[in-house]
């Protein structure tokens, strides 16, 4: 019986099974096509949604710049190559910009791409962020390369609202944005520019002259006779801080162009960093504490100490002593270990708010903005920031060894009213 039952089951199964080679009914063919089309549309909608989300993520996180057509790129911010790692990171390691680090983006996986090749994609480029004097040329952040001629070997250069002031051993000139230059007065160390870049002080023929800077040159406002060897070093409101030799010592004084000058040298001042808020940031010599940071003010036509402190910072008086940030709140100055970024108000109140910049700079330190100092060593440009971060970037190709950052003298003077509004 079992054999007969097996044969019957096999016969009925063969009759019930569909012929795999038979043509299906038209209705079944249509149903299959409809199901396939619906599946394709679902996959396309899913792919499009994923693409939109990915683009939004990239724009928000900064991987793809979300710029409109009306926004032009930074017009040549002196692109200098790959960003390098902070000084504390392993040598040669590539890092993203500070903005990218603050907003990390998710990893982007490309199907079928070589993982090793993706690791070789360059990091975002960095910029010096400030004009450079390269040999006898000016390389601007706008991408221009202008000649600095007519002064011999260039000693100093500054960016001002009407162009660039640059000087050599014997004379000083103003380079206008159109590439033409006009002569100014002074030469060597005998001149200075106001913090806002609008005024110019220089010594010629035994007199200190104060003038407005215009595109046509100088418009002299005052002339004051001064002792031989007197040079202007800074502006303090309408007055001028001057330096001079007193016997075998060097002293500093305050000159008011509104009247005759009677020298009253302060021999305790060893360096002047700049002026802000109606005061002079300086380094002074004290009898028991050594060299201290001080805020000086003009009283009775003399420079007198208003506040002092930070005597243990190790600040040193050198030929290039230091420089104030454009806003006047921070100072960069040499120390035995390199450079220090000093919050002046905090330091004078005993908080000693300093940031180390351990760089033996081969160029004068220059502030690119209120938070970033540009210096340089054999690795290239080093940017030290007031938040403690540091970064090394490459110089533009062809820079060579003879280069210096160019300070911007375009800051609005900081007044006591401005300081009170910030507190």
Question: Starting at the edge strand that comes first in sequence, how are the strands of the sheet with 239-246 ordered?
Answer: 231-236, 239-246, 249-255
The predicted-structure confidence for 205-238, as pLDDT tens digits, reads as follows: 999 999 999 999 999 999 999 999 999 999 999 9
SS3 state of residue 363: coil
pTM: predicted TM-score of the whole model, two decimal places: 0.68
Give the three-state DSSP class for 307.
strand
Does the pLDDT value for residue 69 go beyond 80?
no
Please give the C-alpha separations between residue 100 and each of 75, 88, 301, in angstroms, as whole numbers. 21, 19, 51
Maximum alpha-carbon separation in the chain: 139
Q: What is the mean pLDDT of the chain?
A: 74
Mean pLDDT, rounded, for 125-134: 75
**Percentage of the chain with pLDDT > 90?**
47
Cα(2)–Cα(118) distance, integer angstroms: 69
Q: Give me the sign of the Cα torsion angle 282, 164, 411, 340.
A: negative
Length of the chain, in residues: 423
Q: Are 285 and 244 in contact (CB under 8 A)?
A: no
- Alpha-carbon Rg for the chain in angstroms: 34
Taking CA 379 as the corner, what is the angle to CA 376 and CA 385, rounded to the nearest 5 degrees?
50
Alpha carbon distances (Å) from 68 to 59, 97, 273, 401: 12, 21, 42, 39
Cα–Cα distance measured from residue 380 to residue 243, given in angstroms and rounded to the nearest whole number: 34
Which of the residue ranges 78-87, 235-244, 395-404 has the most confident prediction, judged by mean pLDDT? Answer: 235-244
What pLDDT, on the 0 to 100 scale, is given for residue 56?
A: 40
Q: For the sheet containing 290-299, what is the strand order?
A: 269-276, 279-286, 290-299, 302-309
pLDDT at position 7: 54
- pLDDT of amino acid 301: 82
């Amino acid at each position: 019986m079992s054999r007969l039952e097996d044969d019957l089951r096999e016969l009925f199964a063969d009759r019930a099974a569909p012929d795999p080679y038979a043509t299906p009914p038209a209705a079944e063919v249509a149903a299959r096509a409809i199901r396939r089309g619906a599946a394709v549309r679902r996959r396309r909608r899913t792919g499009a949604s994923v693409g939109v989300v990915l683009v939004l993520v990239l724009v928000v996180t900064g991987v793809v710049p979300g710029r409109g057509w009306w926004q032009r790129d930074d017009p040549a911010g002196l692109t200098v190559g790959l960003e390098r790692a902070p000084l504390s990171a392993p040598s040669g390691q590539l890092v993203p910009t500070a903005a990218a680090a603050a907003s990390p983006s998710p990893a982007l996986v490309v199907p079928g791409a070589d993982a090793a090749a993706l690791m070789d994609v360059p990091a975002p480029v960095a910029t010096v962020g400030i004009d450079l004097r390269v040999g006898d040329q000016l390389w601007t952040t706008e991408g221009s390369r202008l000649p600095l001629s007519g002064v011999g070997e260039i000693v100093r250069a500054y960016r001002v609202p009407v162009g660039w002031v640059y000087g050599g051993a014997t004379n000083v000139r103003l380079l206008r944005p159109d590439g033409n230059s006009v002569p100014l007065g002074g030469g060597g160390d005998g001149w200075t520019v106001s913090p806002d870049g609008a005024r110019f002080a220089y010594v010629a023929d035994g007199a200190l002259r104060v003038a407005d800077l215009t595109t046509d040159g100088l418009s002299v406002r005052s002339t004051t006779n001064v002792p031989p060897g007197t040079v202007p070093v800074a502006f303090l409101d309408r007055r001028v801080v001057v330096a001079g030799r007193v016997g075998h010592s060097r002293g500093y004084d305050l000159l008011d162009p509104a009247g005759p000058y009677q020298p009253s040298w302060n021999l305790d001042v060893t360096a002047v960093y700049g002026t802000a808020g109606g005061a002079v940031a300086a380094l002074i010599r004290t009898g028991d504490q050594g060299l201290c940071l001080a805020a000086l003010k003009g009283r009775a036509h003399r420079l007198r100490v208003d506040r002092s402190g930070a005597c243990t910072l190790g600040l040193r008086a050198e030929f290039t002593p230091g420089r104030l940030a454009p806003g006047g709140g921070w100072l960069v100055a040499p120390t035995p270990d390199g450079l220090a970024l000093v919050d002046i108000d905090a330091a004078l109140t005993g908080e000693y708010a300093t940031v180390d910049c351990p760089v033996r700079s081969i160029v004068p330190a220059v502030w690119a903005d209120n938070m970033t100092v540009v210096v340089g060593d054999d690795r290239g440009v080093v940017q030290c920031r007031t938040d403690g971060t540091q970064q090394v970037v490459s110089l533009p190709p062809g820079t060579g060894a003879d280069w210096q950052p160019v300070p911007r003298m375009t800051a609005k003077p900081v007044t006591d009213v401005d300081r009170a509004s910030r507190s």
